Structure 1
């Protein structure tokens, strides 16, 4: 899940909330949306191939 920040950067959040904090886990902040999308795909890949 990608959200645009007020700074103009994009942040990738986990889809599920973190049980410890009750918030979504921040999976990285990126300068461009395409970078964030690429990382999101990489995260999905690792989730399903280990």
Structure 2
């Protein structure tokens, strides 16, 4: 039982590391490849788009 708990703990830690790396890669891709250096305020954008109609 202890071995299973260790395996699950290691698996979760590895998954968290991979998720963090993939998140950073996606963020870097958004800022560098698309040329976007802005931090978007979604609430403001939604308000502006809804007023355009």
TM-score for the superposition, normalised by structure 2: 0.35
Q: Report which of the two has the higher share of strand.
A: 1
TM-score for the superposition, normalised by structure 1: 0.37
Q: Report which of the two has the higher share of helix.
A: 2
> Bigger radius of gyration, 1 or 2?
2
Higher relative contact order (CA 8 A, sep 6+): 1
